[in-house]
Amino acid sequence: MHEVASNENGFVGYEYRDITVEREMESMYVDGYQNFGWVLDKTSTPQIGLNNITLKFKRDRKIRNKMELTRLQRQFDACVSEIMGMEKSKAVGASIAAYSVGLVGTAFMAGSVFAIVAPQPLIVLCIVLAIPAFIGWILPYFLYQSSYAKKTAKLAPLIDGKYDEIYEVCERANSLLGN
Protein backbone atom coordinates (compact mmCIF):
# COMPACT_ATOMS: atom_id res chain seq x y z
CA MET A 1 0.00 0.00 0.00
CA HIS A 2 1.09 3.58 -0.44
CA GLU A 3 0.99 6.48 1.95
CA VAL A 4 -2.18 8.51 1.62
CA ALA A 5 -1.57 12.24 1.75
CA SER A 6 -3.94 14.13 4.00
CA ASN A 7 -4.24 17.67 5.24
CA GLU A 8 -3.96 18.76 8.84
CA ASN A 9 -7.58 17.75 9.52
CA GLY A 10 -6.94 14.19 8.38
CA PHE A 11 -9.14 14.60 5.28
CA VAL A 12 -8.31 12.46 2.28
CA GLY A 13 -10.04 13.04 -1.03
CA TYR A 14 -10.52 9.93 -3.11
CA GLU A 15 -11.28 9.33 -6.74
CA TYR A 16 -13.28 6.25 -7.65
CA ARG A 17 -13.32 3.86 -10.54
CA ASP A 18 -15.70 1.01 -11.30
CA ILE A 19 -14.73 -1.55 -13.91
CA THR A 20 -16.63 -4.62 -15.03
CA VAL A 21 -14.38 -7.53 -15.95
CA GLU A 22 -14.68 -11.23 -16.58
CA ARG A 23 -14.28 -13.32 -13.44
CA GLU A 24 -11.19 -15.06 -14.79
CA MET A 25 -9.42 -11.69 -15.03
CA GLU A 26 -10.48 -10.44 -11.59
CA SER A 27 -7.20 -11.22 -9.82
CA MET A 28 -5.17 -9.68 -12.64
CA TYR A 29 -7.05 -6.40 -12.31
CA VAL A 30 -6.94 -6.39 -8.52
CA ASP A 31 -3.19 -7.10 -8.48
CA GLY A 32 -2.42 -4.79 -11.39
CA TYR A 33 -4.42 -1.78 -10.25
CA GLN A 34 -2.63 -1.77 -6.89
CA ASN A 35 0.48 -0.76 -8.82
CA PHE A 36 -1.32 2.35 -10.09
CA GLY A 37 -2.31 3.47 -6.59
CA TRP A 38 -5.81 1.98 -6.61
CA VAL A 39 -7.16 0.13 -3.59
CA LEU A 40 -9.98 -2.39 -4.01
CA ASP A 41 -12.98 -1.00 -2.16
CA LYS A 42 -15.51 -3.74 -2.90
CA THR A 43 -16.83 -6.08 -5.58
CA SER A 44 -20.32 -6.71 -6.86
CA THR A 45 -22.03 -8.88 -9.44
CA PRO A 46 -23.50 -6.81 -12.29
CA GLN A 47 -26.72 -7.63 -14.06
CA ILE A 48 -25.10 -7.87 -17.49
CA GLY A 49 -23.71 -11.36 -17.09
CA LEU A 50 -22.96 -14.15 -14.70
CA ASN A 51 -19.38 -14.37 -15.94
CA ASN A 52 -18.65 -10.73 -15.05
CA ILE A 53 -17.83 -8.93 -11.84
CA THR A 54 -17.68 -5.23 -11.04
CA LEU A 55 -14.61 -4.08 -9.15
CA LYS A 56 -14.82 -0.80 -7.27
CA PHE A 57 -11.50 0.92 -6.67
CA LYS A 58 -10.46 4.13 -4.94
CA ARG A 59 -7.23 6.11 -4.68
CA ASP A 60 -5.99 9.37 -3.26
CA ARG A 61 -6.79 12.30 -5.57
CA LYS A 62 -3.43 13.89 -4.80
CA ILE A 63 -1.29 10.87 -5.63
CA ARG A 64 2.17 11.62 -6.96
CA ASN A 65 2.92 11.09 -10.68
CA LYS A 66 -0.79 10.85 -11.47
CA MET A 67 -0.41 11.63 -15.20
CA GLU A 68 2.24 8.96 -15.77
CA LEU A 69 0.33 6.43 -13.67
CA THR A 70 -2.79 7.08 -15.73
CA ARG A 71 -0.85 6.57 -18.96
CA LEU A 72 0.62 3.31 -17.69
CA GLN A 73 -2.83 2.21 -16.50
CA ARG A 74 -4.21 2.73 -20.00
CA GLN A 75 -1.36 0.65 -21.37
CA PHE A 76 -2.19 -2.07 -18.80
CA ASP A 77 -5.88 -1.99 -19.82
CA ALA A 78 -4.95 -2.23 -23.51
CA CYS A 79 -2.71 -5.24 -22.89
CA VAL A 80 -5.39 -7.04 -20.89
CA SER A 81 -7.94 -6.32 -23.63
CA GLU A 82 -5.59 -7.75 -26.23
CA ILE A 83 -5.09 -10.88 -24.14
CA MET A 84 -8.84 -11.33 -23.77
CA GLY A 85 -9.29 -10.83 -27.52
CA MET A 86 -6.67 -13.45 -28.30
CA GLU A 87 -8.20 -15.89 -25.81
CA LYS A 88 -11.64 -15.47 -27.42
CA SER A 89 -10.28 -15.74 -30.95
CA LYS A 90 -9.08 -19.27 -30.20
CA ALA A 91 -12.63 -20.48 -29.68
CA VAL A 92 -14.32 -18.30 -32.30
CA GLY A 93 -12.35 -19.61 -35.29
CA ALA A 94 -12.71 -23.20 -34.17
CA SER A 95 -16.45 -22.74 -33.56
CA ILE A 96 -17.06 -21.23 -36.99
CA ALA A 97 -15.33 -24.15 -38.70
CA ALA A 98 -17.21 -26.74 -36.61
CA TYR A 99 -20.60 -25.09 -37.11
CA SER A 100 -20.03 -24.81 -40.85
CA VAL A 101 -19.24 -28.51 -41.21
CA GLY A 102 -22.21 -29.38 -38.99
CA LEU A 103 -24.51 -27.24 -41.14
CA VAL A 104 -23.31 -28.96 -44.31
CA GLY A 105 -23.95 -32.34 -42.62
CA THR A 106 -27.46 -31.20 -41.74
CA ALA A 107 -28.07 -30.17 -45.35
CA PHE A 108 -27.04 -33.65 -46.49
CA MET A 109 -29.38 -35.19 -43.91
CA ALA A 110 -32.23 -33.01 -45.18
CA GLY A 111 -31.52 -34.25 -48.70
CA SER A 112 -31.51 -37.81 -47.42
CA VAL A 113 -34.88 -37.34 -45.72
CA PHE A 114 -36.39 -35.74 -48.81
CA ALA A 115 -35.09 -38.65 -50.90
CA ILE A 116 -36.81 -41.23 -48.67
CA VAL A 117 -40.15 -39.39 -48.32
CA ALA A 118 -40.44 -38.59 -52.02
CA PRO A 119 -43.43 -40.09 -53.87
CA GLN A 120 -41.00 -42.52 -55.48
CA PRO A 121 -38.58 -43.34 -52.58
CA LEU A 122 -34.99 -43.28 -53.69
CA ILE A 123 -33.35 -45.53 -51.11
CA VAL A 124 -29.94 -45.54 -52.79
CA LEU A 125 -29.87 -41.72 -52.90
CA CYS A 126 -31.03 -41.64 -49.26
CA ILE A 127 -28.11 -43.83 -48.19
CA VAL A 128 -25.62 -41.93 -50.35
CA LEU A 129 -26.70 -38.62 -48.74
CA ALA A 130 -26.91 -40.03 -45.20
CA ILE A 131 -23.25 -41.11 -45.12
CA PRO A 132 -21.79 -37.57 -45.52
CA ALA A 133 -24.56 -36.30 -43.22
CA PHE A 134 -23.42 -38.47 -40.33
CA ILE A 135 -19.80 -37.63 -41.07
CA GLY A 136 -20.79 -33.95 -41.03
CA TRP A 137 -22.32 -34.42 -37.59
CA ILE A 138 -19.40 -36.35 -36.09
CA LEU A 139 -16.51 -34.44 -37.65
CA PRO A 140 -17.18 -31.00 -36.03
CA TYR A 141 -16.10 -32.17 -32.58
CA PHE A 142 -12.70 -33.30 -33.83
CA LEU A 143 -12.40 -30.28 -36.13
CA TYR A 144 -13.06 -27.93 -33.19
CA GLN A 145 -10.49 -29.68 -31.00
CA SER A 146 -7.75 -29.58 -33.63
CA SER A 147 -8.47 -25.98 -34.70
CA TYR A 148 -8.50 -24.83 -31.07
CA ALA A 149 -5.21 -26.61 -30.36
CA LYS A 150 -3.52 -25.11 -33.44
CA LYS A 151 -4.72 -21.61 -32.62
CA THR A 152 -3.64 -22.03 -28.98
CA ALA A 153 -0.15 -23.09 -30.06
CA LYS A 154 0.05 -20.13 -32.43
CA LEU A 155 -1.16 -17.54 -29.90
CA ALA A 156 0.64 -18.83 -26.78
CA PRO A 157 3.88 -16.89 -27.42
CA LEU A 158 1.93 -13.70 -28.19
CA ILE A 159 -0.13 -14.02 -25.02
CA ASP A 160 3.01 -14.69 -22.97
CA GLY A 161 4.56 -11.56 -24.49
CA LYS A 162 1.56 -9.49 -23.43
CA TYR A 163 1.82 -10.87 -19.89
CA ASP A 164 5.49 -9.84 -19.86
CA GLU A 165 4.51 -6.36 -21.06
CA ILE A 166 1.90 -6.14 -18.28
CA TYR A 167 4.56 -7.12 -15.76
CA GLU A 168 6.90 -4.38 -17.00
CA VAL A 169 4.14 -1.75 -16.95
CA CYS A 170 3.15 -2.68 -13.40
CA GLU A 171 6.77 -2.64 -12.32
CA ARG A 172 7.28 0.88 -13.73
CA ALA A 173 4.05 2.09 -12.12
CA ASN A 174 4.99 0.61 -8.77
CA SER A 175 8.35 2.36 -8.88
CA LEU A 176 6.54 5.68 -9.47
CA LEU A 177 4.51 5.12 -6.30
CA GLY A 178 7.72 4.71 -4.34
CA ASN A 179 6.70 1.38 -2.76
pLDDT at position 96: 95
Out of 53-57, 113-117, 141-145, give the one with best mean pLDDT.
Answer: 141-145
Q: Are 78 and 65 in contact (CB under 8 A)?
A: no
63 pLDDT above the threshold of 90: no
pLDDT at position 88: 92
First to last CA, the chain: 7
Q: Output phi, psi for 7, to 5 deg.
A: -85, -175
What value does the mean pLDDT take over residues 155-174?
Answer: 94
Q: Read off the pTM.
A: 0.76
Model pLDDT for residues 1-10, shown as the tens digit of each residue: 344 444 556 6
* CATH architecture of structural domain 1-63: 2-Layer Sandwich (3.30)
What value does the mean pLDDT take over residues 129-133?
Answer: 94
Q: Are 33 and 75 in contact (CB under 8 A)?
A: no
What value does the mean pLDDT take over residues 115-124?
Answer: 84
Instruction: Please tell me the distance from the alpha carbon of residue 127 to that of residue 116, in angstroms, as a whole number.
Output: 9
Residue 62: which pLDDT band, with cuts at 50, 70 and 90?
A: confident
Instruction: Please tell me the distance from the alpha carbon of residue 126 to that of residue 117, in angstroms, as a whole number.
Output: 9
